[in-house]
Structure 1
Amino acid sequence: MSESESDDYQVEAPPLSKDDPMRSFLPISFGQKTKEANIAAQIEQTRRQVEPVRPVASKHFDSDVDSDGDSDDSGSSKDEERFPVSHEVVLKTHERVVTSVALDPAGARMITGSLDCTLKLHDFAAMTPTTLRAFKSVDPWETKKSAKSSESHPIQHVEFSRASGSVFLCVTAHPQAKIMSRDGETLTEFVKGDMYLRDMNNTKGHVGEISTGTWHPSDPNTCVTAGSDSTLRIWDINNKRSQKQVIAFKSKALGCAGRTRMTAVAWGTAAQGNSPVLVAAALDGSLVMYGGNGPFTRPTAEVREAHRADTWTGGVDISSDGRMVLTRGGDGLIKLWDTRKFKEPLIKVEHPATSDRFPMTNIRYSPNSSSIITGSASGHLHILNPGNLRPELVTPVTPGVPLIVVDWHPKLNQIITGSANAETHILYSPNISSRGALEVMSRAPKKRHVDDNPDFTMDQSAGISGDSIITPGAMPGNKRGGVTASGKSRDPMRPQVQQITPFMRSQPDEKHISENIPLSRMLHEDPREALLKYADVAKKDPMFTNAWKSTQPVTQFAELSDEEGEEGPDKKKLKR
């Protein structure tokens, strides 16, 4: 529900006495008569008007299940009880395509990333039916912007840590990933590797754009990132100077010289006491699987032609028991794999791909792996059966606009989607969902007092409120604005702003040097004085010449007169 559709807030006016003549000019009743909010009516306003579609079974390959698609009239009511799709709340906080959505484990905070290079932070506890907006907008690279150069990168992937949700992984179209706090502050910025090294095992970070990343299923301090330099790098978030381990994938496809882009990665939980599973997809169509706890020298299984080469496999997910792997490729196929027989897919079905325009389109298991959700190019949400990949429910979310990312929160039991029209939809059901969007719509609309209107309480000429406290000399007219010809401010109390010259833009600041360059304090030391500290020690206890100390010959220099020294040797005459 947008802000324009929910303007039924109550305006509180100053009370009037019974004999006040102003009462004759006021209506008897205005707006909402009671102070109680009609919660049921608010929730009913968010009911989706579209009817879910029960489609005919799509074309299957290599499936032993029959393809008869039965549909009955009672199916829609049963689906509403099974899936939280009966109601929705729409958030319009971005300006471009929503590429990633993430919720913390408690379901209290939601973060969305977009191609507009910003992160939007939403807090369900602070939103009401009339204030559906983000409380903070963050640009991860805002601190590196200068006066004449703006460094911003599209958001590729955001994901909260699985343990506490106090931090989240932010992946942008840049070789350096970031670990940020839940309030949007940068805590760790991983180092960038040396692009001139051929062996990727010797670089301390990615040398190309990072595609995506994810967290370790049990270790809250470990994450993995997949980059265009044909590597997967496992990081310890407490050490930003170098990765923990490097998995260099060597492609066997023709014409790629052993390198390819890593497009997707998933780190699944252990299956019945076994080690976790790490699965990654590459641009050459390969699908590789590693043991989640290492060693990562060789993959435990590899499929060379899992999807068509040179198509972006943007969706990889692992079931909750760690046995099944789900992939969605840019070739228009969804495939189901078994980790115990990781050679051929169990089932593969056709599904319209959106990877040609939006390669970050994903596919996800439901919290208990009882369903599979993904979007489509037509703007429909597809809920598939995990056993045969048949669509159990197809419902339009943004008709005609591609649905890019989806997520299903386990505690809220709500589905969050991000679309190409910059909208974020939260699908829920009042019967089976809890908190989240349901809690937002269960609150009373925010009351607005007549004094909240700045047109009535602000001095439009001065731009200040009537009850504000003004210190001496704080009025705008008392300050001498502008700058002189030399660039200094006319205001004597204002410090001079340092000018940004081309030389200064190319030089890092002292804080960056001290934090990221080892032994940077030696730049301020005199090398001659530093060496002379050890002159007496070297003379008393020589380390390298101690063996021939007693037999060391005495150096004798030839004695030259002043005239010979000035004349010097005869120089050869130049031929003309």
Structure 2
Amino acid sequence: MDEEKLPSDGDIGAVMGFSGFGKKARTFDLEAIFEQTRRTAIERSQRVLEDRQKGPQMEEEGESSKSVKGPSQRDKTAARNQQSGSSSSDSSDSDSELVGPPVPPQHGAQEDELVGPPLPPDYRDNTANSDDDDDDEADAQDDDDNPVKKIPDTHEIILQHGTKTVSALALDPSGARLVTGGYDYDVRFWDFAGMDQALQAFRTLQPCECHQIKSVQYSITGDVLLVVSGNAQAKVLDRDGFNVMECIKGDQYIVDMANTKGHTAMLNCGCWHPKIKEEFMTCSNDGTVRTWDVKSEKQHKSVFKPRSQQGKKVVPTCCTYSRDGKLIAAGCQDGTIQIWDRNMSVHTKFHCRQAHTPGSDTSCLCFSYDGVTVASRGGDDTLKIWDIRNFRKPVNEANRLTNYFSMTDCCFSPDDRLVVTGTSVKKEEGNGKLVFFDRASFQKVYEIEVTNASVVRCLWHPKLNQIMVGTGNGLAKVYYDPVKSHRGAKLCVVKSKRKEKHAETLTQDYIITPHALPMFREARQRSTRKQLEKDRLDPKKSHKPEPPVSGPGRGGRVAAHGGTLSSFIVKNIALDKTDDSNPREAILRHAKEASENPYWIAPAYEQTQPEPVFAEESEEDEEADKEPEWKKRKI
């Protein structure tokens, strides 16, 4: 059996009277389209760059510049042919060669101006106003070159922490909350977004009871707060001030501080690790610097022990991490600055023996944002800049910066070009200042007179671009610029004060009705004092207490003595007014009745002891009675 051949689509279409089963789908060469678009974009960008660079020179060069553009005309013609789709990739190579007589130069130049899409109008406006833009760029460049113009000090707000020194300042990484701590043991929380112009703290607490607050700092995530006070145990609080952990206290009777689980003396400083959110560090008067983990509060992680040149114990007064967290630095009471590798706790990596005057407390160490420079604020009224790559002598030094506090701050500006610190003054002997030094030349470029008290803490937040200052008279000032600063203090100064809710008092108004009948007319009040005296005499208005009920009681009220057994005993026995001045007579007055009618005791002894037997007095008893009291034998 022969197989029948299947008819093709064309045969079926001819028989049924139509040409096909539908239109054939179009096909696109995507690679060719992408390549064509890429070449066009490159050529356009090159043309715009050339026009920007040669714009002012076009008129001077004249025809010579137009003749130079001859070869590029062929490229543009080829691009135009590719855009229109009239030529393929093979024909683009052939277009690069001239065919026929050359094009006249004037026509070529004229055609060169018309090739491609027209330039946008804003481009022409920009070229027309290029002089104004150059002036603005020059002014902006001058502002960039002068770091003093970046200091945000045009406006300020004052936060009243208390009356004593503000010894601790902290801002969370986002800049939403500020925390202040002071010598009055208080820690206050300030929320910029929630405050109004009244500038009141939303929470105040005393986390360490009666210990001065030395330092507070938020972790890198901003969820917990480290509080270092004058006791030996640091605390970690959450954002709302509730306790998260408390470091353990060490054994005071162990000589080697590395063998104790915690500090044994007053803390001086503390800070968080800049990269590890669970790790923080504290230094203490027991001569150690310890690192801790929030998850394990029973023991420290590692111990660093500063040593003098003779190998003796030295008290660290301040400590900090480097920006990358690999180094740990401590300033000590003997004037030295000692820096360890975080993973090597025995020997120091950098050590400067005479950084500051021995016996002065180094109050602050701060690493720059580039991690190479260290600023140290000494108790010897100096501010020094160090390069850790050459740690033998300071790079620059500033003197006559009075320092009366062991926690006076120094910090770098967000652009790393300024160094800021505060100065101290005695009471009513001048104003405390915030001093700005140029990091390169170390010249004093700017200063701000803060208040008539010492400037203890200073903090320049890089995200807000605002400067926080803590003073010796209980103020926390925030300096900001409405243009250069962001959020922070700008959020609360625009909110008006909330109206205080007064307690509603009900007062009885006096209504004057001159034409009312006498029976409805109220007596006119002559004075408030007389009316109060009359109300006092009125038992209903003065709520006079009711007198006690005498007799059996009435109206549901019980009489004074009541009807209970205790009240009966009080009435009949305890208040019996018989004279009991002679107790013998009071007892013997019932003797005759007891002998004639025995009821309580005598019937119990009728069978066993019908006749009572009493002890007879002997001579020994008489002699014993004659002996003095101190010779009598105690039984």
TM-score norm. by structure 2 comes to: 0.55
For the pair 1:110 / 2:163, whether they are aligned, the reply is no
Do the aligned partners of residues 329 and 213 (structure 1) sit closer, same or farther apart at CA in structure 2, a change above 3 Å counting? same
Match of 1:297 in 2: 346
Show the counterpart of 1:567. none
The one-letter amino acid of 1:361's match is T
Aligned to 2:203: 136
Counterparts of 1:387 and 1:457, CA distance in 2: 71
* In structure 2, distance between residues paired with 1:166 and 1:333: 35
Show CA shifts across 1:290-321 (max 9, x none).
123x1212111111111111101101100111
In the alignment, which of 497, 506, 517 is matched to residue 446 of structure 1? 497
Residues of 1 paired with 2:459 and 2:260: CA distance? 34
2:68 alignment partner in structure 1: none
- What letter is aligned with 1:138? L
Query: 2:352 corresponds to which letter in structure 1?
Result: V
1:412 is paired with a residue of what secondary structure?
coil
Q: CA deviation at 1:388?
A: 2.6
Give 1:455 deviation, angstroms. Answer: 5.6
AA partner of residue 499 (structure 2): R
> What amino acid sits opposite 1:202 in the alignment?
N
- The answer for the alignment partner of 2:222 in structure 1 is 165
Contact 1:81 1:431 in 2 (8 A): no
Which residue is 2:36 aligned to? none
The equivalences for 1:16-95 within 5 A come to: 81-95=149-163
Q: Could you tell me how far apart the structure 2 residues matched to 1:289 and 1:442 are?
A: 46
What does residue range 326-475 of structure 1 map to in structure 2 within 5 Å?
A: 326-355=375-404, 358-377=405-424, 378-398=431-451, 400-443=452-495, 445-448=496-499, 452-454=501-503, 456=505
Match 1:187 to one of 244, 262, 286: 244
2:233·2:247 contact (CA, 8 Å) conserved in 1?
A: yes
Maintained 8 Å contact 1:178/1:186: yes
Matches within 5 A, 1:196-207: 196-207=253-264
Report the CA distance shift for 1:344/1:181 in structure 2 as closer, same or farther (over 3 A): same
Residue 442 of structure 1 deviates from its aligned partner by 2.3
2:590 aligned residue: none
Q: How high is the sequence identity, in percent, across the aligned residues? A: 31
2: CA distance, partners of 1:457 / 1:352 = 62
Cα drift, residue 249 of structure 1: 1.6
Q: CA deviation at 1:447?
A: 4.4
Going from structure 1 to structure 2, the CA distance change for 1:456 and 1:437 (only over 3 Å counts) comes to farther
Aligned: 1:319 with 2:319 = no
Partner of 1:96: 164
Q: Secondary structure at the match of 1:288?
A: strand
Cα deviation per residue 1:359-399 (whole Å; 9 max; x = unaligned)? 1111111233221111112411111111232211111111x
How far does the alpha carbon of each residue in 1:230-262 deviate from its partner, in whole angstroms, 9 at most, with x for none?
Answer: 110010111111000011122236xxx812211
What corresponds to 1:42 in structure 2? none
Aligned partner of 1:332: which letter?
D
- Within 5 Å, give how 1:411-560 maps onto structure 2: 411-443=463-495, 445-448=496-499, 452-454=501-503, 456=505
TM-score calculated relative to the size of structure 1: 0.60
| Structure 1 residue 86: Cα displacement | 0.7
Match of 1:49 in 2: none
Listed as ranges, the matches of 1:202-351 within 5 Å are 202-252=259-309, 258-270=312-324, 276-292=326-342, 294-351=343-400
Q: What SS does the corresponding residue of 2:359 show, helix, strand or coil?
A: coil
Counterpart CA distance in 1 for 2:498 and 2:398 is 51
3-state SS, counterpart of residue 195 of structure 1: coil
Change (3 A) 1:457 1:171: farther
Q: Which has the higher contact order (CA 8 A, sep 6+)?
A: 1
Match of 1:152 among 199, 210, 215: 210
The 1:454–1:81 alpha-carbon spacing in structure 2 relative to 1, beyond 3 Å, is farther
The structural deviation recorded for 1:95 is 2.5
Deviation (angstroms), 1:155: 0.2
Q: CA deviation at 1:351?
A: 3.4
Q: CA deviation at 1:401?
A: 1.0
State how far apart, in whole Å, the 1-side matches of 2:507 and 2:360 are.
58
Question: For the Cα contact (< 8 Å) 1:214–1:225, is it kept in 2?
Answer: yes
**Within 1, Cα distance between the matches of 2:371 and 2:249?**
32
Confirm or deny: 8 A CA contact 1:81 1:432 kept in the other structure.
no
- Write the letter of the residue equivalent to 1:306: A
- Amino acid of the structure 1 residue aligned with 2:245: T
Deviation at 1:287, TM superposition (A): 0.7
Task: Supply the distance in 1 between the matched residues of 2:322 and 2:423 (Cα, whole angstroms).
Answer: 25
Which residue is equivalent to 1:549? none
Query: How far is the alpha carbon of 1:79 from its aligned partner?
Result: 7.2
Q: Specify the structure having the higher radius of gyration (Cα).
A: 2
Q: Which runs of 4+ in 1 moved over 6 A?
A: none
Which residue identity is paired with 2:414? P
* Alpha-carbon distance change, 348 to 80 in structure 1, aligned in 2, over 3 angstroms: closer
Q: What do residues 184-237 of structure 1 show as CA deviations (whole Å, max 9, x unaligned)?
A: 111100000011000011010011111001111100011110111111001011
Rounded to whole Å, the distance in 2 between the matches of 1:426 and 1:318 is 23
What is the CA-CA distance between 1:82 and the residue it aligns to?
Answer: 1.2
Structure 2 CA distance for aligned equivalents of residues 305 and 211 of structure 1: 21
Matched to 1:360, the amino acid is M
Deviation at residue 80 of structure 1 after TM alignment: 7.2
CA distance in 2, matches of 1:442, 1:390: 37
Contact 1:93 1:133 in 2 (8 A): no
C-alpha spacing 1:161/1:457, structure 2 compared with 1 (3 Å): farther
- CA 1:201–1:136 in 2, change beyond 3 Å: closer, same or farther? same
Distance 1:342 1:457, change over 3 A: farther
Structure 1 gap segments, 5+ residues each: 1-73, 142-150, 460-476, 478-576
- Do the aligned residues in 2 keep the contact of 1:334 with 1:351 (CA within 8 Å)? no
Q: Relative to structure 1, is the Cα distance of residues 447 and 232 closer, same or farther in structure 2, using a 3 angstrom cutoff? A: closer
Secondary structure at the aligned position of 1:214 is classed as strand
Q: Are 2:380 and 2:403, in contact at CA under 8 Å, matched by a contact in 1? A: no
Alignment gaps of 5+ in structure 2: 1-141, 425-430, 509-544, 546-635
Residue 415 of structure 1 and its aligned partner are, at CA, apart by: 0.2
